[in-house]
Amino acid sequence: MLWTNKLSEMEDEKIINEGTQPEIEKSTGGVYPENDRSIDMHDTTLWEKFRARKVLFGIARFLFISICTIVVVFSLILFILYGVPVLKEFAPKQTKEIADNKDLKKDQDYKKKIGLITKDIQRLSLKYNTYTPGQSYIVVNTTENRFYLYKNKQLIREGSCSTGSYKKLQTAGGKTWTFKTPRGKFTIENKRTHPAWHRPDWSFIEEGEPIPPKDSPLRWEARVLGDYAMDLGDSYMIHGTIYKRFLGMPVTHGCVRLNDEDLEFVFNTLNIGSKVYIF
């Protein structure tokens, strides 16, 4: 009797276990879809949170729009600077052909004008040849403070120089000096090595010193004109300078200043009588 009751209880437990097993499997089998939904909900929540922060979202949008605008404007500028000229090069160019008009050549007015033009060309050619001799000459540009040395009509050296400052000095008595470099055609009148400067009156007035007599030794000052000097007349010279930092600037009292290397080269190239053109 006891054995029969025990067997009956065991069968009842088996039935209960078999009936509840599918529910466990079902609950176990439903774990994965729920996890997937939780991940999607997590991603959606991050984006919604980012958009919910209006200040941060506005700043990000402003930066994005600004960067895009800068890129577009920069690309447009590059296209205008480089793209348009290239397109113009490839654009078809219209050429105009000039026909040989025999009737025009027979016209008397036309012949007269051609004759005048031909004479002007010949006259200018002769003038050009006189201004550009085969021998050495130098050209000084007082606007740019540059010099150009030619030999056999070929440029052999150029560089910086200093010319007149155009400053004005006036005494109490009303005497005035304007420190400008004269313009025109000049010639080298004299060449000197280790020159000494004979100080004019304005030099003493400028320094606030009394003016000595014309033959006073106080008038002479050495080692201020460099190693070489070339006289152009009326106390104007091409010479060196102790103020090399001012080369290329209009700072002189009228003379043309060169640095040591250029001065030596010019001195050895030009001769007495060589032309000097200052403009």
* 3-class secondary structure per residue, the chain: CHHHHHHHHHHHHHHHHHHHHHHHHHHHHCHHHHHHHHHHHHHHHHHHHHHHCHHHHHHHHHHHHHHHHHHHHHHHHHHHHHHHHHHHHHCCCCCCCCCCCHHHHHCHHHHHHHHHHHHHHHHHHHHHHHHCCCCCEEEEECCCCEEEEEECCEEEEEEECECECCEEEECCCCCEEEECCCCEEEECCEEEECCEEECCHHHHHHHCCCCCCCCCHHHEEECCCCCEEEEEECCEEEECCCCHHHCCCCCECCCEECCHHHHHHHHHHCCCCCEEEEC
Q: Is residue 12 part of a domain?
A: no
Q: Is residue 7 part of a domain?
A: no
The yes-or-no verdict on residue 92 having pLDDT over 70 is no
Percent of the chain with pLDDT over 70: 73
Could you list the residue range(s) of the whole structural domain that residue 236 is in?
A: 137-278
Q: Is residue 144 part of a domain?
A: yes
Q: What are 225-250's pLDDT values in tens digits?
A: 999 999 999 999 999 999 999 999 99
The yes-or-no verdict on residue 49 having pLDDT over 90 is no
Q: Is residue 103 part of a domain?
A: no
CATH code, domain carrying 273: 2.40.440.10
Q: Is residue 268 part of a domain?
A: yes
Instruction: Please tell me which residue, 275 or 153, carries the higher pLDDT value.
Output: 275
pLDDT interval class at 28 (50, 70, 90): very low
State the average pLDDT for the chain.
81
Q: Is residue 166 part of a domain?
A: yes
Q: Is residue 95 part of a domain?
A: no
Number of structural domains found in the chain: 1
